[in-house]
A = this chain, B = another copy of it.
Amino acid sequence: MKIYPPALYDCPLFTGIAGEDLHSLLVCLSANRNNFARESFVFRAEEKVESVGIVLSGGAHIVQEDFWGNRTILARIEAGGLFGEAFACAGLEKLPLSVVAAEASEIMLVNCGRILSPCTAACSFHALLIKNMMRVLAHKNILLTRKIEHITRRGTRAKLLSYLSEQATLAGCADFTIPFSRQELADFLALDRSAMSSELGRMRDEGLLRFSRNRFELLPGSCVR
């Protein structure tokens, strides 16, 4: 029996499925392991995608090409990461982007139809797998929605307050720690870092909030908008 890299066990698609069971599940799904050379295509735009990919080692780039042929790297998927799940599950006929091995990589491809259509009752983990897939999609959905809520606000301050308000609510407390550096927060909210920094300074001066590093505190006066 093959040993899988630890990254695979961390893949959210397989939570709740332990060592030996995972192996038989993967056999049942007839998942296959493939090696990709650096820069080679895992999925090519315009193809139909029927599988989800899981990076076992190396890394993959999600690459988009616009109408004029300009390429953009939208994301990098690390070992243990999942990709293509939305396109495979949506049953899209034409992939609007490509996936390229960022370096020599081993990637597992699992046919999505096999995940969704329960096989014979033989493999008892199938229902769990479906739930996991659903959870992955739903969770990503929530994250994307939240990001959109912040990012659609007009103006630096509104975006910041939208984000900080959410963090305070999640923490259940007026002071809380955020998981971003300034640059990362600026990128997340689609803002200029220095403009964001000075806006934060202004808000501090106006008594709306306090902060140092990643620790923020929203003050009572901040509720005016």
Contacts from A to B (Cβ < 8 Å): 64, 66-70, 74, 85-92, 96, 116-118, 127, 130-131, 133-135, 137-142, 144-149, 151-154, 161-162, 164-166, 168-170, 174, 190, 192, 218, 222-223, 225
Contact = CB atoms under 8 A, between A and B. Distances in A.
Given A86-B142, A96-B169, A151-B152, 15 more contacts: A66-B161, A66-B162, A66-B165, A66-B166, A67-B166, A68-B222, A87-B142, A88-B138, A89-B134, A90-B138, A90-B139, A91-B138, A133-B134, A151-B151, A153-B190
A70 B144 contact: no
A177 to B, nearest CB: 16
B225 A70 contact: yes
Contacts of A218: 67
Q: How many copies does the complex hold?
A: 2
Given A116-B130, A134-B133, A165 B67 contact: yes
A196 B182 CA distance: 29
Contacts of A139: 90
